[in-house]
Amino acid sequence: MDQLRRDPVVGRWVITFMDKPYAPGDFDIKHFPDKKGPCPFCYGHEGMTPPEIQAHRQGLSRANRPGWSTRVVPNKFPALRIEGDLGRQGVGMFDMSNGVGAHEVIIETPDHKKTLADLLDHEVEKVIWAYRDRSIDLHGDKRFRYIMIFKNHGYTAGASLTHSHSQLIALPMIPKNVNEELAGSNKYYEYKERCIFCDMITQEKEENERIVCQNSRFLAFSPFASRFPFEVWILPKEHHSDFSLIQTEDVIELARILKDVLLRIKSVLGNPPYNFIIHTSPVEERERADYHWHIEIMPKLMHVAGFEWGSGFYINPTPPEVAAKYLREAKI
């Protein structure tokens, strides 16, 4: 019999197929051709982006010239604008404010053909350092309350350019989903006086059927109530609530496990589109006992339809136990 599984943090239910689970080959993954014309994220095209905010560069190369390994630039078509005040106001019963915020692009490699999974460990480390450095910098801007780092890979996951990149958005309010996650973990903490994510790590290690891979500092597993087939979460084994306080050794191990998981997904599913999001504590109250930062990786293998939109229920045709087994056994 199929199961309804409840996410312990935010309480959403997932219809999980147990009887006839989908295998990797059952998903229809469409690949879209690369956009024509010069790519603004390639070497020599630095002038096509707004001037860089920061870059890892070798030797004496100059800003906005080739010679970089990762490069952070403002989004050319930002969803939010960096200048100005919030100007919160009411319009009758409605509330609104100006669209103030930061929207940056982290170009992960100068190599147009490589995905994040194909980079070397030390190259992935530089990407993570860029995430951290930009978070720390934006924490200083009093207008911002939340910093969201995410990646869209592939056209159907929302990536408009194929050249490997991630994005950062600093927001003037705490987004709804983040509030829900914080509220759910806080409720658990008040009841148990333990972090819900720490408990999850303990149970996953004990049951040992949803673990994808691990190293000395991080655990990657398919969550019990996975919304999407082959969804994977990466959690630091030690309790930390704020991603931006990550230390050097953790950056090294995070780079390894992130690359490892992405390679497994790529190998099992054939380079599917995916999103990943770093879930971390808000700018105020960065260090807290009731929250645990982590990365959620969501392959986009299916269309989300009316039922999911209307109900907040999800339908997952591959039980996480089955997905984890495929990913564990992947040849990489």
Partner 1 sequence: MPELRKDPVIGRWVIIATERAKRPKDFKVEKEEAKKGPCPFCKGNEDQTPGEIFALRRSRTKPNQPGWDVRVVPSISPLLAAEGDLGRRGKGMYDLMNDVGAHEVVIETPEHIANIADLEEGQIAKVIDCYVERFLQLEKDKRFKYVLMFKNHGRAAGGGSLQHARSQLIATPVNPKRVKEELAGARKYFEYKERCVFCDIVKQELKQKERVIIDIDGLIAISPFASRFPFETWILPKKHSCNFYDIKPAQRRDLAGIIKRVMLKLKVALNDPPYNYVLHTAPFRRPKGGYWKTIDADYHWHIEIMPRLTHVAGFEWGTGFYLNPTSPEDAAKILRETKI
72-111: which residues touch partner 1 (CB under 8 A)?
77, 79-81, 84, 91-99
Report in angstroms how near the CB of residue 179 gets to partner 1 at its nearest.
8
Three-class secondary structure of residue 164 per DSSP = coil
Three-class secondary structure of residue 2 per DSSP = coil
Q: Which of residues 108-147 bind partner 1 (CB under 8 A)?
A: 146
Site for partner 1 (CB under 8 A): which residue of 147, 182, 225, 330? 225
Site for partner 1 (CB under 8 A): which residue of 120, 122, 270, 307? 307
Applying CB under 8 A, the span of 45-53, 111-119, 149-157, 246-254 interacting with partner 1 comes to: 149-157
Assigned token pair, 73: 């630039």
What phi and psi values does residue 128 have, to the nearest 5 degrees?
-65, -40
Q: Which of residues 190-209 bind partner 1 (CB under 8 A)?
A: 196, 199-200, 203, 206-207
Kindly provide the b/e burial profile for residues 103-125, where b requires at least 16 CB atoms within 10 angstroms of the residue's own CB: bbbbbbbbbeeebbbbbeeebbb
Per the CB < 8 A criterion, the answer to whether 231 and 277 are in contact is: no
> Residue 43 or residue 313: which is nearer to partner 1 going by CB?
313
Query: Any residues with CB less than 8 A from the CB of 18 and at least 6 apart, and which?
Result: 1, 2, 3, 319
Report in angstroms how near the CB of residue 66 gets to partner 1 at its nearest.
28
Report in angstroms how near the CB of residue 145 gets to partner 1 at its nearest.
11
Rule CB under 8 A: say whether 175 interacts with partner 1. yes
Q: In what order do the strands lie in the sheet with 68-74?
A: 54-57, 68-74, 102-107, 165-171, 146-153, 274-279, 294-299, 232-236, 218-221, 211-214
Sign of CA dihedral 202, 174, 150, 33: positive
Report in angstroms how near the CB of residue 85 gets to partner 1 at its nearest.
10
Residues in the chain: 332
Q: Which of residues 28-57 bind partner 1 (CB under 8 A)?
A: none
Site for partner 1 (CB under 8 A): which residue of 3, 64, 186, 215? 3
103 included as an active-site residue: no
Select which of 103, 153, 163, 165 is catalytic: 165
Applying CB under 8 A, the span of 42-50, 106-114, 255-263, 308-316 interacting with partner 1 comes to: 308-316
Report in angstroms how near the CB of residue 290 gets to partner 1 at its nearest.
15
Residues known to be catalytic: 165
